[in-house]
Structure 1
């Protein structure tokens, strides 16, 4: 897993590559308040339904995805974002290959 140096500028989209037929993740930073992770998904790849105990903010950096939050489907493309609320089941599928920045914020 690559690490990111503090006080060093970088391009989010260029900081992670696609893997044919796979999913790639790179943790940008993590502390007791939450974490920030980059993901790339090849077309057809995804994450199965799960819940987390804190809100998750997904920012689409490239491509297209379908995100299911509590049974409601959202189609997102480059430049769009969505908040997946804590304790609500969610999943995602790459309708085209895509990259996202995921920010997880722990609740009080």
Structure 2
């Protein structure tokens, strides 16, 4: 069994300059815990695999292709591979979410 807490999870360098922690890295999936402070964002980018976001706390805006939606705690969003997407925190509190990549 593999058990990993957010605080001891490996920090991942990223082009967005935000706090990304790798929680799990399996054969068929990866799980990342991402924290966006107010004003921070994951800039528009694509991934070569399908991914999902699940918001744990806070609020933000998710853009997928030409669509845009406000998200909050308890919201899940599908990010299809190859489709540009972005996540931003325009609020006054931290936003935390999981990114699950299907590899």
TM-score of the superposition, structure 1-length normalised?
A: 0.77
- 2:66 matched to 1:53? no
Instruction: Name structure 2 gaps, 5 residues minimum.
Output: 8-16
Aligned-pair distance for 1:95? Answer: 2.1
Instruction: Name structure 1 gaps, 5 residues minimum.
Output: 17-21
Aligned-pair distance for 1:9? Answer: 7.8
- Counterpart in 1 of 2:97? 100
- 2:70 matched to 1:70? no
Question: Residues of 2 paired with 1:95 and 1:61: CA distance?
Answer: 16
- Counterpart in 1 of 2:85? 90
Question: Residues of 1 paired with 2:69 and 2:44: CA distance?
Answer: 14
Number of residue pairs the alignment of both structures matches = 92
